[in-house]
Amino acid sequence: MSTPQSAPHTLSLPDGRSAMGWMHTARFLTTAAQLHQLPVVDVPEIAFVGRSNAGKSSCINTLTQQKQLAFASKKPGRTQHINLFSLGRQGITDAVLADLPGYGYAAVSRSDKMRWQQVMVNYLVSRPSLTGIVLLCDPRLGLTGLDEALLEVVRPRVEDGLKFLVLLTKADKLTRAEQAKALSIARLQTGGGEVRMFSALKKQGVDEAALLLWHWAHPPATDTDAVLETPAESPEQPHPDDEPPALD
């Protein structure tokens, strides 16, 4: 398996449409049951996490405009691998998406829950290439105890600059007033963090989320070799021994 290599650093100013075009380049990279099986990458990595019924697979498939890129199990909570997808045009990887196993589903045995929650926690606190986290949450339920436990796990990295976004999925099931209330509550729960509504069915918030993820993966250049591109152009683009507390 070839290790994804970063593209030459460019500074680009896309709009939502071009960001969606970039997301559409997603293709399967690898799947891993353990952290040591994941390849080392030198490009930004963005992880999608959430409860098993939060609509994570639908979100990824909607953002990438690919119906079956992320696998949605008929038995939520049974998908027990970390799946990586490469992003970037013309064979150049400039970012990686990570689809983490869903958590909290009652039908999964406690031992399986503990094992996979531990793998996920280790990934979130130690993966060197991790640049941002997207937490998927059903706004009708709000952030649950497990979601809040995850927030506590990643808080030190967020304080050190790790990007973090809460997407309230299934927004189409709420009225505008209910959406506004859900946003307010989630922002309080995340300490004023970035929270947005999202609907795979109605495509609400899709362009905005894609554009945000593009900016996460393409931070402003700091060196003198950076190239400024016009919006119409598309950019060419140690495994932990410690065991942090599991989400339980």
Higher-pLDDT residue of 98, 238: 98
Give the residue carrying structure tokens 């993820």: 213
Residue 140's pLDDT band, with cuts at 50, 70 and 90, is very high
User: Is it the case that residue 155 has pLDDT exceeding 50?
Assistant: yes
- Which of 81, 79, 76, 71 lies closest to 53 in space, CA to CA? 76
Residue 55: name the closest of 212, 191, 197, 207 by CA. Answer: 197
What letters, b where the CB count within 10 A reaches 16 and e where it falls short, cover 83-97?
A: bbbbbbbeebbbbbb
Query: Taking all residues of the chain, what is their mean pLDDT, rounded to a whole number?
Result: 83
Q: What's the pLDDT band for 226 if we cut at 50, 70, 90?
A: very low
220 or 79: which leads in pLDDT? 220
pLDDT band at 68 (very low <50, low <70, confident <90, very high): confident
Q: Give the model confidence (pLDDT) of 162-191 as tens digits.
A: 999 999 999 999 999 999 999 999 999 998
Share of the chain above pLDDT 90, in %: 60
Instruction: Residue 96: name the closest of 60, 68, 125 by CA.
Output: 60
- SS3 of the chain: CCCCCCCCCEEECCCHHHHHHHHCCCEEEEEECCHHHCCCCCCCEEEEEEECCCCHHHHHHHHHCCCCCCCCCCCCCCCCCEEEEEECCCCCCCEEEEECCCECCCCCCHHHHHHHHHHHHHHHHHCCCEEEEEEEECCCCCCCHHHHHHHHHHHHHHHCCCEEEEEECCHHHCCHHHHHHHHHHHHHHCCCCEEEECECCCCECHHHHHHHHHHHHCCCCCCCCCEEECCCCCCCCCCCCCCCCCCC
- In which band, very low, low, confident or very high, does the pLDDT at 16 lie, cut at 50, 70 and 90? confident
Mean per-residue pLDDT, 224-242:
40
95: confidence class by pLDDT, cuts 50, 70, 90: very high
pTM of structure: 0.82
Q: What's the rounded Cα separation, in Å, for the pair 114 and 80?
A: 12
Tell me which residue has tokens 């007033």: 177
Q: For residue 241, name the pLDDT band (cuts at 50, 70, 90).
A: very low
Lowest mean pLDDT among 2-11, 127-136, 213-222: 2-11
Identify the pLDDT of residue 52: 85
pLDDT at 107 (0 to 100): 64
